[in-house]
Amino acid sequence: MRILVVCLGNICRSPTAEAVLRKLGPEDLEVDSAGTGAWHVGNPPDPRMQDAAAKRGYDLAPLRARQVRREDFHRFDLILAMDRENLADLARMAPDDGSGAGLHLYLEGGNPDEMPDPYFTGGFDGVIDLVERGAARWLKSP
């Protein structure tokens, strides 16, 4: 299974989900993260997110932000967006031939079903709670 997790800048939500899925998932799980925007490409995750994640045992320090690429739609089985805006952006970027990864909300079917962005509002611990909840769901899926 190959999963790509996507948020806007790839410095808070999606790198956290990448680290959580990698730690909790099976050894053969391939997971990566990316952003729909390019503002932070090459940068490490937000220090506030790194601190909150480290307190829970997740190491975000080695990760670097990147932007979603067209080839990602063929490389991954699932592309999980943190919110509806990013999901819509991904749908616009997807190949026209209908091939490639399945697009879903990371918290699909949950309440809430969108992941809040802590970059401006804080709430990093709450985001980790939601990331762990979503990870448990996707790791149970066949």
Q: Which helix (H) or strand (E) holds 79?
A: strand 78-81
Query: Which listed residue (12, 13, 32, 66) is catalytic?
Result: 13
Query: Which listed residue (32, 59, 117, 137) is catalytic?
Result: 117
Distance CA 78, CA 5 (A): 8
Q: How far is CA 94 from CA 32, 34, 75, 88, 90, in A?
A: 17, 14, 12, 10, 6
Catalytic residue check, 7: yes
Q: 62 preceded by cis ω (within 30°)? A: no
Catalytic residue check, 117: yes
For residue 99, give the amino acid letter.
S
Distance CA 107, CA 73 (A): 20
Catalytic residue check, 12: no
Residue numbers annotated as active site: 7, 13, 117
